[in-house]
Each structure stands twice: as structure tokens, then as C-alpha cells.
Homo-oligomer: A and B are copies of this chain.
């Protein structure tokens, strides 16, 4: 089975949803047969790497409200994140453009290290208030994940590799009608939108598994897929 997960590093519910999905997967009997594929989704592809305002101000302007309200909303989210074992330090967060972070994640995929990189990226952004738009930070996280220093330098600094891959992920989401992230898609068919409770992930995994394992034969015989039927 394949689970595709669209997410953005700066998206709190993506981090929370990742934890809940992982808990659901852990409780799923056939977890060894699940392949997780991370897909990039930029909530704001236009934001600068070094915005001149704090996240609260940027968010307030977007939402047409005050920075105080956005600070309060963020604190509420941080409280909820705690229940999933995550520490969010919104006051000192370094908001930025996530394109290079996503490119790094795609690069890491070639070495099977995208999961490790994503974990480090989320923690860097939400907990440690690191600047994940800066190459220095990304390089350090890449090394922590076990990626080669020089290869990462070459990928990040001297090329635009994976730019297309990131954009293609985003387009794929658009085609699927994705309205927000996180967005989980199991076997191209079962979709879960948002940081749903752990039980919802277990249910979806089990439903997809049931279909794949038991009704595969029936299903194939009850649909037409070649030139005639």
C-alpha cells in the first residue's frame, strides 16, 4: 500500500498530523507493507526567505486581524500540539519560504532519508526557532540526517535541482482538489484531510487494506481496464 502525504514544514497541523498518522500506522497490523511518500506543498510559495515581519504580523495582515489575535491563535495551537508531544515556540519562530527545505527533502528521498530530514525540519522550525530558509541551517540538518556535506552543498547552492519536483507535487495536489494540508492519500483512493484523530488513520488504513487484499479479485473482475473490458 502507498500513502502519500502532502505537507508544508511551516504548517502546524502537518507536524501534528504526522505524529497522529505515525501512531495510526504503528497500530496497523500490516504496517510493514505500507510505503509512505512525502509530497511537497507550499502554503505560501511567494513569501521571502527573510520576511521583514514576524509570523504574527504577516498572519494578521492576511487574516485582517491584529497581531495579538494571531499570537493568541498560535498559543492555542501550541497548547494542542503539546497533547501530541510537540513543543511549539511560536514567539521566536523564524518564518520563511520553504522551497529549499522541500528541495532538501526531495534530495534526501534519493537516499531514503526524507523522513529523518522532515522530522529535523519540523523540530528546527517549531521547537528550536532555527531559520530553515537559510542554507547554513539546511546543511546542518542534512548532515544530522546523514547526508553528504558536499553533495548537499552542490544541491542547495549550485543548482535548482528538485525545484520542478516540488512544483509537481503542488500541482498534483491542485489536481486532486486538495484544499489544505496535511493531506493523506492511500492507494490513490482513500483521502484524509487535516490532522484527524489517530483512529481515523487506523480506520482508513484498514479500509484500504481490506480492499486491496480481499476484494482485489472481485474488484478487478467488476471493472473494465483494457481496450474491451
Interface digits, A176-211 against B, CB 8 Å rule (1 contact, 0 not)?
110111110000111101111000000000000000
Most buried by B among A8, A17, A188, A193: A193
Which of B62, B179, B189, B195 touches A228 (beta carbons < 8 Å)? B62
State in angstroms the CA–CA spacing of A195 and B218 once bound together: 10
Q: How many copies does the complex hold?
A: 2
Chain B residues near A43 (CB-CB < 8 A): 224-229
Tell me whether A194 and B223 are in contact in the complex, defined as CB-CB below 8 angstroms, given that A12-B229, A58-B228, A59-B229 are known contacts: yes
**Across the interface, do A191 and B189 meet the contact criterion of CB distance under 8 Å?**
yes
Residue pair A179, B62 in contact (C-beta under 8 Å): no
Question: For A46, A196, A218, A222, which residue has the most chain B Cβ atoms within 10 angstroms?
Answer: A222
- In the complex, the answer to whether B47 meets A180 with C-beta atoms within 8 Å is no
Task: Say whether A44 faces chain B, with CB atoms less than 8 Å apart.
Answer: yes
Q: Which chain B residue has the least Cβ–Cβ distance from A203?
A: B207
CA distance A218 to B229 in the complex (A): 42
A13 interfacial by beta-carbon distance below 8 Å: yes
Complexed CA–CA distance, A181 and B191 (Å): 19
Contact B180 A62 (CB under 8 A): no
Q: Which residues of B contact A148 (CB under 8 A)?
A: none
Could you list some 29 contacts between A and B, CB below 8 A? A11-B224, A11-B229, A13-B222, A13-B223, A16-B222, A17-B222, A17-B223, A43-B225, A43-B226, A43-B227, A43-B228, A46-B227, A58-B227, A59-B229, A62-B227, A77-B229, A172-B175, A175-B176, A176-B188, A177-B188, A179-B223, A180-B220, A180-B223, A180-B224, A180-B225, A189-B191, A193-B219, A194-B222, A196-B219
